[in-house]
Amino acid sequence: MNIVEDIRQELKAPYGSVCRELELPYSSLMRWRNRRRAGKRLVQKPGPAKAAPLDLEALHEEIGQLEHGRERTRGTGALYQQHRNEISRRDLQALVEATRRELRREAGALERRIEWLVPGAVWSMDDTKKHWLENRFGHMHLVMDLGSRYNLRALGSEVQANGWKVAENLADLFHRHGPPLFMKMDGGSNFGHREVRRVLAESWVIPLVSPPYYPPYNGGIERGHQEVLRQLSARIGFGTVSPRELFLQCEVSGHEVNHKQRQSLGGCTACQALVAGRSFHRRFGRRQRKEVFEQITSLAVDIVAALGEHTATINETAFRYAAETWMQSNNIIRVVRNGEVLPTFYRFWSH
């Protein structure tokens, strides 16, 4: 308003001419002028005035507890209904979007990428399902060597592989390729089956169980799944197949992915990388595997003692961190964030 009045006085022109010069709606200028004369705010937000006081700090805490995705936040509507007398929907949405952006920035800053350096050292297994079969899900059980990205098994079936089947697969793969030192897996009942544990223990394979509800921990096999799924989709299209056909197509899709040349492997295929890394098994017999397990367990005990907590969750987390520290210290993995190699978690490894 002050700028408009100054220009009007300088040019000795009416308000209409000044508005045309500034490309300002004449009706808006008159509305602001009348509000200023009445002692009111020039610009008012649309909608009824909010009467109840707003505890902004408490609201921020509630927003932080919502389920934030990359583009949307679940629960925003219910939160607005709870505070509709205190804040407008537009202002609440702005706060939610700001919180979501901040969480994305924090997640990006903390994002770590693990590079698997030694073929044969760490395997991973997982299950997935999709509507491949008529009127029901088809299932795929995948076992992958993370160092070479070799799909050791892509097993298609009309039912999820139970504990006995998982154990049978592992025993066969250990016989064919030699057992890895570590096996990454989620906490599914089929992977926690007593027969699976027995097969792992007999070969001194150390299980690394993913934290609940945190798929990125087993991100390597998640990406492997996507590769095999894309290959499978290219082969069978969008239709459905028989259980026998699903079994064959999963096997062929895993085989084809294994023979793609990869820049990350220096132009080699996953198959070639796995063969080149087989010397790893000769360095880790039963005695060496037992020593590794004891070292990791000892470090995990130190971590729990340093944290001052003794719960099942803390113990599992400490064991995962200790295993990662051991792998970093022995050049089995490299942990990178924002292009920089991170140091090991704990410096008291020599204890």
Average pLDDT, rounded, for the chain: 82
Indicate the DSSP class of residue 314: H
Q: Sort 56 into a burial class: Cβ within 10 Å, 0-12 / 13-18 / 19+.
A: exposed
The residue type found at 72 is R
Q: What is the pLDDT of residue 37?
A: 75
The residue type found at 186 is D
How far, in whole angstroms, is CA 168 from its chain's centroid? 30
pLDDT digits (tens, 9 = 90+) for 198-257: 999 999 999 998 876 554 555 666 777 788 888 888 888 777 889 999 999 999 999 999
pLDDT digits (tens, 9 = 90+) for 30-69: 777 777 777 777 665 555 555 556 777 778 778 877 888 8
Q: Which residues of 43-53 are buried (b: 16+ CB within 10 A; e: fewer)?
A: eeeeeeeeeee
DSSP sequence for 82-144: HHTTTS-HHHHHHHHHHHHHHHHHHHHHH--EEEE-STTTEEEEEEEEEEEETTEEEEEEEEE
- CA torsion sign for 59, 60, 61, 62 is positive
Assess contact for 180 and 206: CB atoms under 8 A.
no
Question: Could you tell me which residue, 226 or 196, shows the higher pLDDT?
Answer: 196
3-state secondary structure of 154: strand
DSSP H or E segment with residue 81: helix 76-83
- Highest mean pLDDT range out of 85-94, 148-157, 300-309, 339-348? 148-157
Tokens 């996507």 correspond to: 226
Share of the chain above pLDDT 70, in %: 83
Is the pTM here over 0.85, yes or no? no
Token pair belonging to 23: 């490309």
Q: What is the pLDDT of residue 348?
A: 41
Mean per-residue pLDDT for 315-329? 90
Phi, psi of 202 (to 5 degrees): -60, -30
Q: What is the pLDDT of residue 295?
A: 94
Q: Give the confidence band of 263 by pLDDT, cuts at 50, 70, 90.
A: confident
DSSP sequence for 167-217: HHHHHHHHHHH---SEEEE---TTTT-HHHHHHHHHTTPEEEEPPTT-GGG
